[in-house]
Structure 1
Amino acid sequence: MSIKHLIEIFLIFLRLGFTSFGGPIAHLGYFRQEFMERRKWLDEHAYADLVSLCQFLPGPASSQVGIAIGLSRGGIPGAIAAWLGFTLPSAIMLVLFGLGLSLVGDTLGTGWLHGLKIVAVAVVAQALWGMGKSLCPDKARATIAVCAAAIATLIPSSLGQIGAIVASGLVGWAFLRTKNALPHSFIQTKTSRTTGMILIAIFFLILFLLPAVAVSSNSYVVNLFDSFYRVGSLVFGGGHVVLPLLQSQVVPSGWVSNDVFLAGYGAAQAVPGPLFTFAAYLGAVSTQAPSGWVGAGIALVAIFLPSFLLVIGILPFWESLRGHRVMQRSMLGINAAVVGLLLAAFYNPVWTSAIRSATDFCLAAFAFLLLVFWKLPPWLVVILGAVVTGLGIG
């Protein structure tokens, strides 16, 4: 693999990282247009296979598809180049926002800071609206979604969320039926099954051993890496669904206040690229040291490392796994559970922390109108919300 080829992969994904607004579903559309229609790197079936696989795995689906495309073109170095290009723009923007937020301090307790939190309500509502229509089109999957939301709300921890996902997968396997098999096309990978098995083993070793190391070492760096690695390993659905898991890791521990957390989440809507780069913001604004750029780097690598290990590890086996009916039926239930987890996150902490008055509700409703029906880009709605509340309206 030549350096020139890796630079090409990096620059293509860097452009996408600067221009891909709209969340993970929109990112997949950008990828399809770039790599299937324009560059012909993949055909329709191969791309659909990648999307299906990454929807099943925990972590950010759009970033995982990008990693897989980079892997197919340039091996592991290509996967790293693709990830860096797609991730760095939003990560750097959010870290700069976080450092500026730290400098301004308590003066952001009202005004435009509250506007970012209100817009976060509208953005999550938009995601809930769209995902609900596509992933819960019938009463069976809608019921699974509501039950998953109830479990995640009544058991507000990672255990409740993972329990809801596992239970929904089992219900999908037992009661749901797929009408059509997943499309079939061979996906080129430059890794062997032996390498894949090693990477999967590393994934589980870190997941199960690192918490014990974190407890015994009492090191903030180890605890920070452990917390974000577990989030990247356990969150299904990616995007907005990462919100409750991250909130449960950094707010109760005192690393980040809830106001600063939701301000960053609102700002994350104004930048392109994957929402998981929100981890860089949290690492940068932490009250513990190291914070700033070093903390951001640790959190960013930790939350994306599971995606690297799983995608590169499983792709060599996907050809045989993808055709199993058990997996396809389970995925229907898991996708419905993703909507339920998003519904739970919409209630707490997004709604309960942002909507404090009738004026807040009206602003959130107008933001939702602009996003869903006027089709304004999220970054513009975020700016409008910040300006309106910054002027004292609300």
Structure 2
Amino acid sequence: MNSVNVQQTKAQRPGSGRLRRLAEVALVSAKLGLTSFGGPIAHIGYFHNEYIRRRKWMDEKSYADLVALCQFLPGPASSQVGIGIGVVRAGLLGGLMAWIGFTLPSVIALVAFAFLLKGFDIDGSGWIHGLKIVAVAIVAQAILGIGRNLTPDRNRVTIAVITASAALLWPSAFTQVALIAAAGIAGLWLYRSAAVAESPELPVRISRTLGAFCLILFFALLVGLPFVRQFTSGAGWLPLFDSFYRSGSLVFGGGHVVLPLLEREVVPSGWVSREDFLTGYGAAQAVPGPLFTFAAYLGAIASGVSGALIATTAIFLPAFLLIIGTLPFWNALRKNPRVQGALTGINAAVVGLLLAALYDPLWTTAILAPADFALASILLIMLVFWKLPPWVVVLAGAAGGMLISLI
């Protein structure tokens, strides 16, 4: 009898082990989703502390390689790192659980804020204007931070400035795609002879067949959705899904760069006003988790709960397809100097896109008087030099906006 029980226990272990790992991934990622303030770079630090240092789900070198892969791909880098760790820990379903846990808290918070904004006439409130000024400070901080790393020499500064100028002179989604492609070609030429650092291989448990399928599906949706949208009269949920999928597919450099892409998708179409767009972007700084959940707010403003679900799914789907699709091939790709050269140019263009976004729509809409400039400067100092958490800066910005409205 005892031997039978032992055999049953052994037979149940694989399934029970997988369920235990899935539950563990869901709980730990939810904890991170509730506490991870500070943007993608800070998120990677939180992940390292929780997943690597405390739980040892991956060794240090493999984690560094995974972070490098996600920095290479378009999309939300921190979310892709979390998905990758979930996949390593508990398979494809583990990746899904890791994303849900990390993303859901901020989605709920921003959808609730969207309904608050729609239910009450608060567009002209001083604290709302303060949130717009917060967005200026946040993006300025991002430019200072990544600019030092991604544009350290004359060639890359030149790429960044040309990109910013072109994005402002010819504002469109097509222009941004063309600029990213041109920067990649420039980087391929300028840095074709740069040395590639040696690094250990990343252990991957995904077949190349599945990886290839995900990459094919990614490009099929990117190319096919606009075509189908054009021939379906733009009705129903498809236009919203197409706009957010395309935005999630073309963002290099993390959450802040999605700002100009989303603004040019949702504001000219009339789904979201420019004032509501900037208000929500300021509010998104006050919640933990990935900045891409800003899409949930925009979808809720445009089309209620269903719009929030469509927008959130669409903007994160490219992240799933790309991380699952490229993991099996990454060990070979990262040793290619041409790939590294193209990435160098693209990263410089990212700085240019951020610089353009800082001016339009942020600066032109939020900085309307000397008092606005003074508040933005104070908030920037709080972020850069005092190293205060973003939620503290958001509260200070809202309070400063109310004070300015009384002057």
Instruction: Note if contact 2:194-2:337 (Cα within 8 Å) is conserved in structure 1.
Output: no
Return the alpha-carbon distance in structure 1 between the equivalents of residues 194 and 151 of structure 2: 15
1:3 aligned onto 2:22: no
Cα-to-partner distance string for 1:318-371 (whole Å, 9 max, x where unaligned):
111111011112111111111111001001001111010111111111111111
Tell me the CA shift for residue 227 of structure 1. 0.6
Instruction: Select the residue among 182, 186, 205 that pairs with 1:190.
Output: 205
Instruction: Note if contact 1:182-1:322 (Cα within 8 Å) is conserved in structure 2.
Output: no
Give 2:272's aligned residue: 256
Which one has the largest radius of gyration? 2
Give 2:137's aligned residue: 122
Return the alpha-carbon distance in structure 1 between the equivalents of residues 187 and 194 of structure 2: 13
Tell me the CA shift for residue 374 of structure 1. 1.1
1:208 aligned onto 2:223: yes
Instruction: Note if contact 1:49-1:182 (Cα within 8 Å) is conserved in structure 2.
Output: no
TM-score normalized by structure 1? Answer: 0.95
Tell me the CA shift for residue 252 of structure 1. 0.3
Would the alpha carbon gap of residues 273 and 183 (structure 1) be closer, same or farther in structure 2, given more than 3 Å must change?
farther
1:60 aligned onto 2:71: no
Give 2:104's aligned residue: 88
Percent of pairs with identical residues: 57
Give 2:3's aligned residue: none
Tell me the CA shift for residue 23 of structure 1. 0.7
Q: Mind listing any 5+ residue stretches in structure 2 that lack a counterpart?
A: 1-14
Instruction: Select the residue among 11, 17, 26 that pairs with 2:42.
Output: 26
1:162 aligned onto 2:159: no
Give 2:372's aligned residue: 360
Instruction: Note if contact 1:49-1:183 (Cα within 8 Å) is conserved in structure 2.
Output: no
Return the alpha-carbon distance in structure 2 between the equivalents of residues 206 and 195 of structure 1: 16
Q: Mind listing any 5+ residue stretches in structure 1 that lack a counterpart?
A: none
Instruction: Select the residue among 399, 402, 407 that pairs with 1:387.
Output: 399
Give 2:263's aligned residue: 247
Aligned pairs (5 A) from 1:1-394: 2-105=18-121, 107-176=122-191, 181-217=196-232, 218-286=234-302, 291-391=303-403, 392-393=405-406
TM-score normalized by structure 2? Answer: 0.92
Q: Which residue identity does 1:161 align to in structure 2?
A: Q
Return the alpha-carbon distance in structure 2 between the equivalents of residues 210 and 71 of structure 1: 28
Give 2:6's aligned residue: none
Q: Which residue identity does 1:3 align to in structure 2?
A: L
**Other structure's SS at 1:189 match:** coil
Cα-to-partner distance string for 1:17-39 (whole Å, 9 max, x where unaligned):
11111111111111222222222
Return the alpha-carbon distance in structure 1 between the equivalents of residues 43 and 195 of structure 2: 25
Tell me the CA shift for residue 156 of structure 1. 0.8
Cα-to-partner distance string for 1:11-58 (whole Å, 9 max, x where unaligned):
111111111111111111112222222222222321222122111211
RMSD of Structure 2 on Structure 1 (CA): 1.5
**Other structure's SS at 2:237 match:** helix
Paired residues, what number?
Answer: 389
**Other structure's SS at 2:123 match:** helix
Tell me the CA shift for residue 159 of structure 1. 1.6
